[in-house]
């Protein structure tokens, strides 16, 4: 007869195998990513895979302190992603539209609308 502990052992082993495959594919994207934003997203995904590894190990060992470590890694990973995004924006790889002031932008739009009539 199959016990619940056997089911957890098989499921955690399968999860570790799937997460290992995801880790390899993500590391490949970090190394071979054609652009900097691709690499940043891959690093964010790498953080998510690491959180998954930590969570599966927490379930497998029954040591609940690992969950706190996974939550902390999630917070740090989010901050790192935001910092990388700000770096990309300051570097100029992603073009943002120029700011439109409220008074002149509306007047230009109205004038442009009248020209078409």
CATH number reported for the structural domain that contains residue 72 in this entry: 1.10.287
- Give the pTM: 0.73
What's the confidence (pLDDT) of residue 100? 76
Kindly give the residue spans of alpha helices, DSSP state H, lying in the chain. Answer: 4-32, 36-61, 65-91, 102-115
Asked whether residue 37 is domain-assigned, the answer is yes
What's the confidence (pLDDT) of residue 96? 55
Q: Which residue has the tokens 């902390």?
A: 72
Read off the pLDDT of residues 3-18 as tens digits, 9 standing for 90 and up: 999 999 999 999 999 9
Domain that holds residue 58: 4-92
Residues 78, 47: Cα–Cα separation, whole Å = 9
The DSSP call for residue 106 is H
Asked whether residue 39 is domain-assigned, the answer is yes
State how many domains the chain has. Answer: 1
Of 28, 63, 109, 70, nearest to 20 by C-alpha is: 28
Read off the pLDDT of residues 20-70 as tens digits, 9 standing for 90 and up: 999 999 999 999 988 888 999 999 999 999 999 999 999 999 999 999 999
Q: Which residues contact 78 (CB under 8 A, 6 or more apart)?
A: none
């Amino acid at each position: 007869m199959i016990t619940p502990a056997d089911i957890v052992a098989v499921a955690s082993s399968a999860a570790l195998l799937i997460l290992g495959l995801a880790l390899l594919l993500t590391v490949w994207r970090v190394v071979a990513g054609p652009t900097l934003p691709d690499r940043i997203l891959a690093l964010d995904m790498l953080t998510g895979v690491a959180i998954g590894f930590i969570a599966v190990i927490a379930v497998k060992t029954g040591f609940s302190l690992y969950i706190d470590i996974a939550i902390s890694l999630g917070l740090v990973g989010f901050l790192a992603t935001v910092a990388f995004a700000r770096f990309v924006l300051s570097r100029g790889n992603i073009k943002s539209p120029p700011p439109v002031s409220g008074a002149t932008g509306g007047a230009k739009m109205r004038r442009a609308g009248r020209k078409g009539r």
